[in-house]
Amino acid sequence: MNQLDPSVINAINGGGPAGQRNSAEMRENFMTLLVAQLRNQDPLNPMDNAEMTSQLAQINTVSGIEQLNETMNGINDQIDASKFMQATALIGKAVLVPGERVLVGEGETTPIGIELGRNAEKVKVSIVDGSGQVVRELDLGRMNSGMHSIAWDGKLADGTQAPNGAYRFRVEAEAEGKPVSSKSFNYAQVLAVSQGHPDGPRLDLGGIYEPVRLEDVRQVI
């Protein structure tokens, strides 16, 4: 007999019922079968040393992979715990998150954010009411790439105060006559944090906003 039993190889490679056992059981079964085969091998045709070394290396590799997986799982758990603690620190804070909403109340407006992909020669923000009508345009002129916080004074195009309520804003940016990519961010307050999501904790921003990831926060106000 010059090679290990196929069932042993199958177990090493993770196949069959034996592949579902932990590495300690696998090593024990492997060594038991190996010793049995060594005792019963044909003296005129002994197991090849290279073959035996290869099989030993395979079982050690399986054990090492399992230990590595356990270590990585532990690291992932620590990262998730760290993210959750970071997220809970934002409870009660005001943040800028992806969105296009701007609120008006008692003569005050919520700030908005613009992130430009590159420098822009012209940037314009249009404030739109619930019916889709543009009620004010803000000419912001030249702006550099990156994140910017913008404040609307709450005035309409005719100079009167905008009625209380929710509005939306649109951003138009260009350089050398070509559009510049931009992202819009609106104001929200973090009310709570929830776990159990595959990509990390979610920030609860109240009923008018969908929960967002910690990575979605662009600015803490």
Q: What is the pLDDT averaged over residues 163-186? A: 96
pTM of the model: 0.64
| Local confidence band at 189 (pLDDT 50, 70, 90 cut-offs) | very high
| Local confidence band at 1 (pLDDT 50, 70, 90 cut-offs) | very low
46-55 — which CB contacts under 8 Å span 24+ positions? 46/2, 47/1, 47/2, 47/3, 48/2, 48/3, 51/2, 51/3, 51/4, 52/4, 55/4, 55/8, 55/9, 55/12, 55/30
**Interior angle at CA 58, CA 52 and CA 59, nearest 5:** 95
High-pLDDT (> 70) share of the chain, %: 70
| Local confidence band at 4 (pLDDT 50, 70, 90 cut-offs) | very low
The per-residue pLDDT for 52 is: 64
User: Which tokens belong to 9?
Assistant: 């190889």
Q: Which has more confidence, 63 or 209?
A: 209
Tens of pLDDT, residues 12-43: 444 444 444 566 676 677 667 767 766 776 66
The per-residue pLDDT for 133 is: 96
Give me the CATH topology for the region 99-187.
Answer: Immunoglobulin-like (2.60.40)
Domain residue spans in the chain?
6-88, 99-187
Tens of pLDDT, residues 52-111: 667 667 766 766 676 767 777 766 666 667 778 888 999 999 999 999 999 999 889 999
**How far apart, in whole angstroms, are the C-alpha atoms of residue 18 and residue 91?**
48
